[in-house]
Each structure stands twice: as C-alpha cells, then as structure tokens.
Amino acid sequence: MGSTRRDYALILLASVLWGTSFPGSKLTVGTVDPLFLTFARMGLGAALGVTVLVILHRLDPKMFHEPIVWILGAINAIGFDLQNEGIFLTTASRTALLVNVNIVFIAIFMALFFREAITRAKVAGILIGGLGVLVLATKLDPTTLSGGQFAGDVLVFLAGLTWAFYVAGTKSRVDRGGDYVALTAAILGTSAVFAAVPLFFVGWPLPRSGTGWLGVAYLGLVPTFAPLMLYVASMRTISPTISALLILLEVVVAAILSFLLLRDPLDAFTLAGGALILLGAYVVTRGEKSIPEPVAGGLAPVSPDTALPGPDGLTRR
C-alpha cells in the first residue's frame, strides 16, 4: 500500500510539472517554430536523462537496441509536433482539455490489450473528471467552444489520441522490467531523433530571440524528463487508466497559470471544475487495488546497490 501511495504522489507531481508546459508552450510558440520546439525539448530532456544516468552509473546504451523504444520515440515525437502546431492556433487551456480527453482511449486500450477490468468506480471517476474538465474549459457556455480555431483543436485532439497509443506501448514495455530512468531517457532520445526529421525539410528555423531560447530551455529541462520519469515509474503499481485520471490535475494547473501569465479568466467555474477533477480522481482511486510490484518480470526501482559483477562489467536487475 505504501508503494502505491508513493506512486500516486509521483503522478500528482508529474501532473503539476506537465501542467506548466501548456502555458509555457503557448508563450514559446509565438517566437519559436513549433517543429523546432519539439526537437529542442526532446533533445534537452534526453540530455538531462543521460546526465542523471551517468551520475548514477546506470548508463546502458543497450536500451537503444530495443525496437519498442524507437516506436515509442516516433509516437511521442508525432504527439508533440501535433500539440505544438495546434497550441499555436488555440489556447493553452483548451489544449490541456483536448489532450486529456485521451483518458477515454487509454481506458479502452487497457481493457482491450491488458484485460483491465472496467469497474463502476472507474466509470464514475472518468465521468466526474470529464465533467470537471468540461466545466473548467467551457464554463458551461457552448459559445466558448469557438474561442480557438478549429484546426488547432483538431491537432491537439489528435495529439491526445496519439499519446493514448503511446501510453499503451509504454505500459507493455514497463511490464517487461528494467530501469525506468534509462527507459525514459531512451524514449526522449529516440523522440529527438524523429523530431529532427521534418527540420531537414523546413530549414532548421532557430529561435531569434532570448525569450524564445529561454522558453525552449524551460520546457526541455523542467516539464519533460522529470515528469515522464515519474510517470513511467508509477506504472509499477498504478494502472495507466488511474494515472490518466490523476494527470487531469494538469488541466487545473494549466488554467491557473494561463490566468496568471496569459490573462485567461479564473473564476468560480475554474474552481468548480478543478474540484470535480480531483473528486473524480479520488473516487476511482479510493477502492483501487494496487498492482503488485513485480519480482523478476516487471519494472522495479533500481538502486545503486543492485549492481552485480558480470563478464561484461556491471549488470543490473
């Protein structure tokens, strides 16, 4: 039970960090090409992850030999390209809303591919959390749906759908075991490789202002490697369906920061929507049974004392 509570805390922290990325991206895409932003953010996140692995003496290039890591990197790069192109056309709050609609697809994928039970608590939590997102984003006024350009809304919705596939793939890799820090760094590294491909066709449009580079640095170093690592680590004991509900907190964070930085309104609807989102997460997690941490076949935390001597140097469980 202690490990589950720990991983709930990891997910909530990740959601807060990810929540800051929406207004941060909205501010940055005004001065930075969206495709370059994806490449730079993934590259900086991967560099930070590799640095952490070097410090922990856990760097293992063999992670890049796995085809699933490259597939996940490609999906992740596509998702960020869609989000960055879309957020340029719509608002940060709406982007957070539409991206998180993927909770429905994640629940479906987990039921189809992982035989996860769809309990009444999960259905109730999804409905309550979804209602909270609706209240927060629309303020129960249908005319607000015309606030962002339709093309931008479609792009960020497709980004959310893309990440539903990404979550299912990451879960399948996590269940095979290994070092979650190395897995996170490898996914970001392959994401950067795929994100670089379109830049060869658009001419590598570098930021021309200090503000643009500052935004790139923040997005690459703060809400990228750390929250993804926390999210991957939480999959040891928490279903991705539950995680998706907890991550709805990022919609609240994005709304508050959009109010402070982008002058988006913060009112009773924002507070009510945030309360419903948290209530939905509570309902679905209150009676949820934790996933037993695997002994051999699943992902377990790797500490410095797990190094074992082998014929090719140090190996790790």
**177-236: pLDDT as tens digits:** 889 999 999 999 999 999 999 999 999 999 989 999 999 999 999 999 999 999 998 887
* Burial annotation 102-112 (CB, 10 A radius, 16+ → b, else e): bbbbbbebbee
Q: Which of 111, 46, 56 is nearest to 80 (CA)?
A: 46
Residue position matching structure tokens 């015309």: 146
Domain of 189 in residue numbering reads as 2-290
- 212 inside domain: yes
Q: Are strands 307-310 and 313-316 parallel, antiparallel or unpaired?
A: antiparallel
Residue 312: pLDDT above 60?
Answer: no
3-state secondary structure of 277: helix
> Average of pLDDT values for 243-263?
87
Q: 175 in a domain, yes or no?
A: yes
Residue 133 pLDDT: 76
Q: Is residue 190 part of a domain?
A: yes
Give how many domains the chain has, as a whole number: 1
119: pLDDT strictly greater than 90:
no
Residue 185 domain flag: yes
Residue 49 lies in a domain: yes
Q: State the pLDDT confidence band at 42, using cuts at 50, 70 and 90.
A: very high
Does residue 310 form part of some domain?
Answer: no
pLDDT greater at residue 294 or residue 236: 236
Residue 116 gets which letter from DSSP?
-
Q: For 57-91, how does the pLDDT look when each residue is reduced to its tens digit (9 = 90+)?
A: 999 888 899 999 999 999 999 999 999 999 998 88
Q: Give the predicted TM-score (pTM) of the model.
A: 0.81
Residue 304 lies in a domain: no
For residues 254 and 309, what is the distance between their CA atoms, to the nearest angstrom?
47
- Look at residue 193 and tell me if it is in a domain: yes
